[in-house]
Amino acid sequence: MDTVQFRNLMRHQAGAVTIIAVGKAGNRTGLTATAMCSLSDTPPMILICVNKNASAYGPIKAAKCFSVNVLAKDQQDLAKRFSSKKLEGEARFDQDAWITMRTGAPLLRGAIANLDCELADEHVFETHSIFIGRVKDGQFHEKVEPLLYFRGDFWDLKKA
C-alpha cells in the first residue's frame, strides 16, 4: 500500500483532537495531535506519536515531561493554530489560556481533559517516536463536549 492509499484509509478513523504541549512560559511549544491513546491503567500510562521533525520533539526529550490537552468542541481554532506553520513555538500560546501543571508542563484552560505526563520511555520508529508518558496528574470537565477529527475535517458530536 502506498502513502496516499494509507492516508485515505486512516482518515475514516474518527478521533479526539489533542494539543501536546511542553516547556516553561516564554519558551513553550506544542503540536496538534490525534495519535494519543491509553497504554495501561496500572500504572497509569499513555502513548503519543510525534514526528521527529516537529518543533516539540526535542523539547519533550529535554524537558522529560509534557501535557496532553484533549480539546473541546469550541477549540477548533487552537487545533489549527498548533498545526500551522504560520505561528511557531511561544507565539502559538495565548497567555491567558495556559497555566502550569505539576510537572511544569503547560495546561490549556477550557480543554475537556488535561493529562500531566512525565516522559517514561521513547521508541523511535523511522520518521516518528512513540513517547510513553506516566500520567502524574490531570483534570476533566464533565459537561464539555469533544472536538473530533474525521475524514480530514473537524466535527463535534452534533454535526456527527
Residues lying near ligand FMN in the complex (CB under 6 A): 17, 31-35, 49-51, 54-56, 82-83, 85, 149
Q: Which is nearer to ligand FMN, 5 or 53 (CB)?
A: 53
Contacts of 154 (CB under 8 A, 6+ apart): 17, 76, 79, 147, 148
Q: Which is nearer to ligand FMN, 8 or 102 (CB)?
A: 8
- Rounded to whole angstroms, the Cα distance separating 150 from 106 reads 27
DSSP 96-122: GGEEE-TTS-EEETT-SEEEEEEEEEE
Contact 99, 110 (CB under 8 A): no
| Minimum CB distance to ligand FMN, residue 93 (Å) | 12
Q: Which is nearer to ligand FMN, 29 or 114 (CB)?
A: 29
| Minimum CB distance to ligand FMN, residue 34 (Å) | 4
The residue at minimum Cβ distance from ligand FMN is 35
What phi and psi values does residue 24 have, to the nearest 5 degrees? -95, 155
| Minimum CB distance to ligand FMN, residue 108 (Å) | 15
